[in-house]
A and B are shown apart, each in its own frame.
Chain A
Amino acid sequence: MAMKQLSGAEESHSLSRPPSSVDILFDKSFRALTCTFTWATILLLAFIVYKIGRQAIPAVSTYGLGFLTSTTWDVNAHEFGILPEIWGTLYSSFLALFLGGFFGITIAIFLTQDFLPHKLEMILKNIIELLAAIPSVVYGLWGIYVLIPLIRPVADLLHDNLGWIPFFSTSLSGPGMFPAVLVLSIMILPTVAAISQDAFRAIPHKTKEAAFGMGTTRWEAILRVMLPTASGGIFGALVLGFGRALGETMALAMLVGNANEISLSLFAPANTLAALLALNFPEAGELEASVLMYAACVLLLITLLVNIAGAAIISRTGSGGKK
């Protein structure tokens, strides 16, 4: 297998030497090693999906697709359905995306459009990314002991005065959709802000120059040129943030209220798929464990689809700027 090496050294005074056999061996083994690790990761993902799917089979064959549309969860009667959890997962994630997305994009604009000196931009960018370093359980505790007491007066006021609006139709009893959504939006904010910033920074300087050259004010340049140009990357950021919100568990298990209900009210307790799994597995019997695996498959499917969509959008648009 030895490759033919071009050797200029024998006949001339060239300093070029072919790579030694040790160099070649190192090169080849390094390549093999990286290849192994890459495939191992992919195999691991496949293995996880396979195992969860296998253990869900008894539940899938017993409950079928009716599992997705039923609203009862009765362990004693062996009746299971996860529609309220699917609803709770999507509802909380969409609301969090709305809030966190709005703030994330606003922050990205503020930190990339020359409002601040470059150094300060970098410092603030890093501080915001630190939000992602706070453990989920800490967010949960903060939500219970700080956030809920803090929002209770506002929630009461809204319910008392605007109770006819479906969103405020119940009073806040403690844990519920609203505090869960607030915490969730804080948790996805660093993701949205960071990727949106990348999308803005990827816009070539000449595009900005063109905007100002046309006689735009700073706001016109941002709203009419920079935002549309970065929109692909921003959309990808939102999808990834959404994926994160869907799978978030600990903070939601602590804050969402764990009630098997479907309600539009922001102040009503609810439940999400991830919280359902976290709270029910310790006491699960054989059948319930299989049911939980089925629910896990559903959650996995939703998050995988969202993440794949997000990654595809980001790569297709090259975070804005280019073609």
Chain B
Amino acid sequence: MDITRRRLLILLPAAAIAWKFVQAGTPESSPNYILAEHWWGMLIDIPKCIGCGSCVRACAEENDVPDGYYRTWIERYHVADWKIERPEVESPNGGKQGFPPNEIGDGKNFFVPKLCNHCVDSPCTQVCPVGATFVTPDGVVLVDKSYCLGCRYCVQACPYGCRFINPKTNTAEKCTLCYHRITKGLTTACCEVCPTGARQLADLKNPKDPIHDFLKTHTVQVLKPHMATGAKVFYNGMDGSVR
């Protein structure tokens, strides 16, 4: 077939449309994402959390978390007067549907959202016998589903109770910090839907990330610092009663 000017003019838009479909069909990759340029963590601003459960619902939807299991959850603390060593903690259905009103007399009440702390020296990755879980070069603790034996060592090792065995796949599962989102320049599902900004994804290697100013000017704590896990989920305004 000779390529005449007329045929070329017809062919070109057709090829362009076809190319659009080819592009749409290939899974979204992140060619511009460089592992060494990021170091992920999260900031949780406890005084802002209203316990609405949006994060828990969003996480379940984004990551197909089975019912009754949680990659993130919210706890409601009740501390009676001076008894900070004996807080009453509840988390009905992980806080997925919010919390019923509570009017427990004296003391203070507040919410604490929890998730994987993406520890630098994570106990869960240290105990894995097969190298199925690991800290990525950008600081996220992930599970290799096709390598996991389901031996549950990591579930026991995590001091924060952030892991579970998925009943369908029988492999260990946990928060991925929405790795499939953050590598595409999006924030995590929980941070996306948080109505008060109580959860903020933080890139600790990005000097422009507002986390740095926040950390300089606020009293920030990690969970169980005595475990020396190198947790990277920072809690602002956290009460001493939080476990």
* Chain A complexes with chain B: no
Binding site for A on B (CB under 8 A): none
Binding site for B on A (CB under 8 A): none
